[in-house]
């Protein structure tokens, strides 16, 4: 069984800035991953990260997510892909420096979508990396799209594809970002309360209070994240999804399946 983890673009970058990586946070999260692997050498991790103030800015500016006619200028596609990779290099180098054998596997090199939904992704290199105890690192990326020409595929969509359409069945998915899912966007509504558990009984109500990202974000913010994760929890037997803040001890505990002092758990 595998554990998937996403470093959210909202915590590894300042999404109100421009290509503003938060290197101390990235280094702390990398150390937390190293600590979890040291504590449990059997931990098989697929690590993804969002694009934050790197890719989203170019994607929004050039409308890459809305599509691009085949004969139009594709500079925006190229600039978005390059920005996503610049952040990826920072994340992978931090993981390597922390002692995690991370290997970057750029999704767009092997990805195709239709109307923004993944249709094909050659995931064998991820399985091969895992067989060798490497930690494959993927990231939200651009895609060639058979219907609209170009698209943006979020990290959550890639992790969902792996869970549903590859042999890599996750037991746990850990999304590092906001400290929890709240009754409303905590940055807009100071009375918002954290929701410790999301299940069949409250998912409808939780979705009603989940909004967009605060900054430029072409993949939809908290609401689309929760919709995707709920679909996974309904489909993959025994899967638990955790949304936690970026405290390193919390991440190590979440990866090891230990009880968490804060955050949100989504399960059936």
Ligand X SMILES: Nc1ncnc2c1ncn2[C@@H]1O[C@H](COP(=O)(O)OP(=O)(O)OP(=O)(O)O)[C@@H](O)[C@H]1O
Ligand Y SMILES: C=C(C)CCOP(=O)(O)O
User: Which residues are bridge partners to 266 per DSSP?
Assistant: 198, 241
Give exposure, 234-264, as e/b (b: 16+ Cβ within 10 Å): eebeebbbbbbebbbebbbbbbeeeebeebb
Report the partner that residue 126 touches, choosing among ligand Y, ligand X, none (CB closer than 5 to 8 A by kind): none
Q: Which stretch binds ligand Y (CB under 6 A): 51-59, 71-79, 231-239, 251-259?
A: 51-59
List helix spans (H) across 118-195. Answer: 124-131, 155-165
Task: From the list ligand Y, ligand X, none, pick the one residue 178 interacts with, judged by a Cβ distance below 5 to 8 Å according to partner type.
Answer: ligand X
Contacts of ligand Y in 181-210 (CB under 6 A): none
Sign of CA dihedral 249, 49, 20, 244: negative
Which region holds residue 13: left if phi is over 0, alpha if psi is between -120 and 50, else beta?
beta
Q: Which stretch binds ligand X (CB under 6 A): 26-34, 113-121, 130-138, 219-227?
A: 219-227
Candidate residues 150, 219, 252, 264; the one interacting with ligand Y per rule CB under 6 A:
219
Residue bearing tokens 């101390």: 24
3-state secondary structure of 220: coil
Q: Among 51, 68, 88, 113, which residue interacts with ligand X (rule: CB under 6 A)?
A: 51
Residues in contact with ligand X, counted by CB under 6 A, come to a total of: 25
150 vs 70: CA distance, rounded Å: 9
Contact pattern for ligand Y over residues 74 through 93, marking x by CB under 6 A: ------x---x---------
* 171 and 44 Cβ atoms separated by less than 8 Å: no
Interface of this chain with ligand X, residues 127 to 186, rule: CB under 6 A: 177-178, 181-182, 184-186
- 45 touches which of ligand X, ligand Y, none (CB within 5 to 8 A by kind)? none
- 202: how many CB neighbours lie within 10 A of its CB? 11
| 41 CB-contact burial (10 Å; exposed 0-12 / middle 13-18 / buried 19+) | exposed
Q: In 3-state terms, what secondary structure has residue 224? A: helix
Residue 113: both structure tokens together: 């979508």
By beta-carbon proximity to ligand X, the closer residue of 99 and 245 is 245
x/- map, 9-38, ligand X, by CB under 6 A: xxx---------------------------
Task: Give the whole-angstrom CA distance, residue 161 versus residue 166.
Answer: 7
Q: Is 210 in the site for ligand X (CB under 6 A)?
A: yes
Distance of alpha carbon 167 from alpha carbon 130, whole angstroms: 12
Q: How far is the CB of 38 from ligand Y (least distance, A)?
A: 27
Whichever of 221 and 257 has its CB closer to ligand X, that residue is 221
Q: Give binding residues as ranges.
A: 6-10, 51-52, 56, 155, 221, 225
Which residues would be at the binding site for ligand X (CB under 6 A)?
Answer: 8-11, 50-52, 56, 177-178, 181-182, 184-187, 209-211, 213-214, 217, 219, 221-222
Which residues would be at the binding site for ligand Y (CB under 6 A)?
Answer: 9, 50-51, 55-56, 59, 80, 84, 140-142, 152, 154-155, 218-219
Q: Give binding residues for substrate as ranges.
A: 51, 56, 155
């Amino acid at each position: 069984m595998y554990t998937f983890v996403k470093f959210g673009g909202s915590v590894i970058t300042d999404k109100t800035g421009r290509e503003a990586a938060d290197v101390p946070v990235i280094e702390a999260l990398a150390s937390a991953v190293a600590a979890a692997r040291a504590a449990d050498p059997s931990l098989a991790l697929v690590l993804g990260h969002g694009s934050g103030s790197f890719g989203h800015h170019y994607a929004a500016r050039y409308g890459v997510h809305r599509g691009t006619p085949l004969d139009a200028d594709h500079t925006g596609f190229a600039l978005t892909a390059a920005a996503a990779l610049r952040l990826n290099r920072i994340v992978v180098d931090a993981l390597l420096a922390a002692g995690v054998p991370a290997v970057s596997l750029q999704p767009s090199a092997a990805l195709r979508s239709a109307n923004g939904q993944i249709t094909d992704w050659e995931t064998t290199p991820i399985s091969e990396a895992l067989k060798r105890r490497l930690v494959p690192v993927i990231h939200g990326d651009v895609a060639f799209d058979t219907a609209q020409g170009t698209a943006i595929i979020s990290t959550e969509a890639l992790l969902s594809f792996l869970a549903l359409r590859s042999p890599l069945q996750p037991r746990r998915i850990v999304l590092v970002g906001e400290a929890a899912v709240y009754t409303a966007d905590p940055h807009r509504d100071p009375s918002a309360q954290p929701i410790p558990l999301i299940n069949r009984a409250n998912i409808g109500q939780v979705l009603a209070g989940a909004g967009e990202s605060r900054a430029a974000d072409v993949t939809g913010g908290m609401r689309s994240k929760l919709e995707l994760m709920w679909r996974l929890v309904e489909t993959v037997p025994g899967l638990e999804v955790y949304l936690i803040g970026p405290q390193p001890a919390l991440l190590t505990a979440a990866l090891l399946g230990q009880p968490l002092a804060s955050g949100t758990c989504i399960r059936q």
